[in-house]
Structure 1
Amino acid sequence: MDIQKLKFPIGEYTPNKNPNSDLIALWIKQIEAFPAHIENLTKNISVETLNWRYRPNGWTVKQVVHHCSDSHMNSLIRFKLTLTEENPTIKPYSEDKWAELIDSQDNDISYSLSLLNGLHKKWVILLKSLTEEQLELEFIHPEHGEKFNLAESIGNYAWHCNHHLAQIKNAINSNGKYN
């Protein structure tokens, strides 16, 4: 069993600080399609399957779904801070600790799916409106000690969407063997 392949089923994220407009457009389409993809993957699964893990000691399907709504909510806020402040320092959060909170343990994922639907509609409107100058705006991530521009952040979150979709698929296809 290759734990790294289970952890990163589409590979680890490779930053691209200077993507071209075609690549940015592709990434935005991936972000836009994400809520429908995650809903289609999870709409007919049982509570038992929601509690299957995508790898040993990994998150359950429900935790991944709840994490995506938390993470993408934070991302939208980071984009808005970057567009309205000069080089803002964003607030990191402990994803692993958030995944252990009661709302991330809930077998009802419908509200996180609803949140993702509305959030992504709002986010995509913003992303499609960004000018070349705005795509170059940066925020500071204190845990990484470096600046990230909005263009590369779009790529990071497109990868994030595809990464977690692949993890959910792995969990469902595992038939619970990683629990």
Structure 2
Amino acid sequence: MLPDMTGKYSLEVKGTACTSVQISQHYNIPPPPDATTMSVEVLPEYDSSHKTPKVTLRLILQYNGKETSTNMVILDIALLSGFIPDPQSMKNLEVAQLVDRVEHKNGHVVVYLKELMKAVPVNLSLVLQQQIPVQNLKPAVIALYDYYQPTDRAEREYTVANQA
């Protein structure tokens, strides 16, 4: 193990044998502050009163750009470690207004919205079930972006408080 400090490291090997070297760098970059025409707000509500603890994500999406509406918009919800989407909540999301389709893959729920209208907030919700208890739970990111202009995006971190 290398000491926990920044710096330059080098590795020199001599001989005639087979070897393997693995280098791994881990970092966490917080989402940048919003400088976009879109915004996403998330209000997570943790509920441990059920047999399986749940988190309800109340989402508020909004567009405030120059146009009257956006192109197709993607809402990418990274799931918290140990959580899965509630099946009934996914069905409810699929039939919500402006939602074209919903996918669950690779620890994300991806919602395709037909458009966002200028200054008209869209309220969605998604219930997550805790499948595996995880200590020191790290935040997850929710991204909202224009399908054809992915640089026009908004991101928010969320996590759960009051988790047992």
Same-fold call, TM > 0.5?
no
Flag the structure with higher helix content. 1
Bigger share in strand: 2
The TM-score normalised by the length of structure 1 is: 0.27
Bigger radius of gyration among the two: 2
Superposition TM-score, scaled by structure 2 size: 0.29
